[in-house]
Structure 1
Amino acid sequence: MSDLVERLRAGGWRMTAQRRVVAEVLDGEHVHLTADEVHARAAARLPEISRATVYNTLGELVSLGEVTEVATGGRATRYDPNTHHPHHHLVCAGCGVIRDVRPGGDPMADLPDSERFGFTLSDVEVTYRGLCPACAPS
């Protein structure tokens, strides 16, 4: 489970009603919403919230490193609040659903020195693609 709201409070982020509702909408495990989905869910809780406020808040959360943008190849960017819990993504090529996965091993160590071209690695992003049970042929 994401601890986004608690992290933001602990970090002293000014928690307006609009910011709070965006953070609450994003909070949770396997949460990978588009900006429009965040806006729709936030507006259900706080009808006066504007699309611009949602976009600005998402941008600020990304800048703070509290939310990451997840690109899923040709689909709308999604926002992931689980930035402090190392994980990869499993993406359905059919419907686009995303799940957080934590396979064993160290992906940083999986790249041999001969393939690093002198780079000093700082991060690894792995995306597994396939079909979820609802999209897979029977």
Structure 2
Amino acid sequence: MEPGAGRPKLPKNYRLIYGVLCAQAEGHHAAASEIHAAARQLQPGIGYSTVYRALDRLRDLGLVLEVRLPGSASALYEPARPGHAHFHCVECGCVEDVDYSLPVTDLSALAQRYRIEIDSVVTTFNGFCDRCRSGRTEGSA
């Protein structure tokens, strides 16, 4: 559960939050309130602000991915893993992982063109999931 070698040692509560995230099913995206509830089952006294500080630190270390969706009041979190993007259904709000990543050559070209350094990429596609898309089709018939 402890992050890999070369990373700073995390406080006990931060390791707990990281463990909660790693224990969730792959592809699950949890709100801070859900993470807090799961952490409280393991450590009843843990505060909401501790969870937020831990999520910020884990995100900054690259251990956790923060997914922000347009129109959503709160972010969603998952353990960081490469090679995927997200699909967000604008009707039901579901968020699903999509196997996709931008080619390194595209990132290099962007960085060179705009004279920037790209540290990370978060890609989210918006549209209608299969269930909502089918409902829209059936409703128009």
TM-score bracket for this pair, using the shorter chain length: 0.7 to 0.9
Pairwise CA distance, 1:22: 1.0
Partners of 1:107 and 1:124 within 8 A in 2: no
- Percent identity, aligned pairs only, is 30
The one of 6, 10, 13 aligned to 1:14: 10
- The equivalent of 2:114 in structure 1 is 119
Q: Any stretches of 5+ residues in structure 2 without a counterpart?
A: none
Where does 1:44-123 land on structure 2 (aligned, <5 Å)? 44-75=41-72, 76-82=74-80, 84-103=81-100, 106=103, 109=106, 118-120=113-115, 122=118, 123=120
Evaluate the alpha carbon distance shift between residue 120 and residue 88 of structure 1 in structure 2; reply closer, same or farther with a 3 A threshold: farther
Q: 1:79 is matched by which residue type in structure 2?
A: Y
Please report how far the alpha carbon of residue 89 of structure 1 lies from its aligned counterpart in structure 2 after TM superposition: 0.8
> Which structure has more helix as a fraction of its residues?
2
Moved over 4 A (4+): none
- CA displacement at 1:85 relative to structure 2: 1.5
Say which SS state the counterpart of residue 129 (structure 1) adopts: strand
- Alignment of 1:30 with 2:27, yes or no, is yes
* 1:109 CA drift (Å): 2.8
Give 1 or 2 for the bigger CA radius of gyration.
2
Offset from partner CA, 1:81-133 (integer Å, 9 cap, x none): 12x4121111121232222211377275399x7x8892256354322122334
Structure 1 portions without partners, runs of 5+: none
Task: Rate the CA distance shift 1:48–1:124 in 2: closer, same or farther, 3 A.
Answer: closer
Partner Cα separation in structure 2 for residue 88 and residue 63 of structure 1: 19
Shift in Å at residue 31 of structure 1?
Answer: 2.9
